Structure 1
Amino acid sequence: MPHLDVRTLCMIVGVSSLAFAAPATADEPIDCAKAESTVEINFCADKEYQAADKALNAAYASALKVTRARNLEKPYDAKSFEEALRGAQRAWVAYRDADCKDVMAQVWTNGTGATSAILGCMTDKTLRRTKELKEMLEPQ
């Protein structure tokens, strides 16, 4: 029998366990208000994050649309504003991902609650950024 290192063995066990830990089927949807297992909690946390990310993308698209309508002189013109917004958004995504995916994983030492904690962190930060973008667009 070939020798398996610990990492390979853990990956095999983890992947094979997914077959037994799959969330409910379409006939039995997960009620996130009653989620109990780690798989259900992670599924629901991901669902919340996906909704928050969708709202963020809509707010960002709206913000870009507003920047393109700007009719001011450089350095406050539409092109400069759009470049600044795109740069800020890229930096924000890098911050969110580093803070949630890297730091939060360390906090949880990658335990069973790590995935839902990471997704919760990403959801919270994404909702806050969506609010910031919307508020930025409000007339002064």
Structure 2
Amino acid sequence: MKRYLAIIVLLLSLGSGSAHAENIDCANASSTVEINFCAEKDFQAADKTLNAAYEAALASINGRDLEKPYDAKSFEAALRASQRAWLAYRDADCKDLVAQEWSAGSGTTSASLGCMTEKTMQRTKELKERYGEH
């Protein structure tokens, strides 16, 4: 699947592909390449928002006056471990399991990216709710 995404990105980055990418109306995407391009665009936006929420959560932790063994350093380490585990879960579920469900058919990439976008948005909401940004 990574190879498939790389091919799409390569095709879209080529001269005519780049011009075509600028003209893709994601509300009316119809070809597999267009649908995958839009799904990737949605995921990238969700991932950017997640990264900002994660950084805000870390800042929130570091701004707290906490005592051992629940001090800011331990709290931050726990959040980092949790985020790494969450990323592994998301990727295993959305990249590996979804690919199995789709038997690597033409909809696999958009289904995988849709799964990743949905889970990423859910994690962003969770971090914002737990660490003060609503």
TM-score by length of 1: 0.81
Counterpart CA distance in 1 for 2:90 and 2:110 is: 15
Q: Which residue of 1 aligns with 2:54?
A: 60
SS of the residue aligned with 2:58? helix
Following superposition of structure 1 onto structure 2, how do residues 28-47 of structure 1 map, counting pairs within 5 Å?
29-47=23-41
Higher Cα radius of gyration: 1
Write the distance in 1 (CA, Å) between the matches of 2:31 and 2:18. Answer: 11
Structure with the higher helix share, 1 or 2 = 2
The answer to whether the 8 Å contact 1:32/1:40 transfers is yes
Indicate if the aligned counterparts of 1:24 and 1:30 stay in contact, CA closer than 8 A.
Answer: no
Alignment of 1:94-109 (within 5 A): 94-109=88-103
Asked if the contact 1:67/1:81 (under 8 Å) is kept, the reply is yes
Aligned with residue 66 of structure 2, among 62, 65, 72: 72
Give the corresponding residue for 2:110: 116
C-alpha distance in 1 between matches for 2:58 and 2:103: 38
Amino acid aligned to 1:39: V
**Cα distance change, pair 64–25 in 1 and its aligned pair in 2 (3 A):** same
Contact 1:67 1:78 in 2 (8 A): yes
Bigger RCO of structures 1 and 2 (CA < 8 A, at least 6 apart): 2
User: Identity rate of aligned residues, in percent?
Assistant: 65
Deviations 1:44-89 (A, max 9, x none): 0000000000000000000000111121111221001100000000
Shift of 1:27: 8.3
Q: 1:28 to 1:46 in 2, by over 3 A?
A: closer
Q: Normalising by the residue count of structure 2, what TM-score does the alignment of the two structures yield?
A: 0.84
> Does the alignment pair 1:136 with 2:118?
no
Structure 1 stretches of 4+ with a deviation exceeding 4 A read none
Work out whether residues 59 and 134 of structure 1, in 8 Å CA contact, stay in contact via their aligned partners in 2. Answer: yes
The offset of 1:138, in angstroms, is 2.4
Give aligned pairs, total: 123
Per the alignment, in what secondary structure is the counterpart of residue 19 of structure 2?
Answer: coil
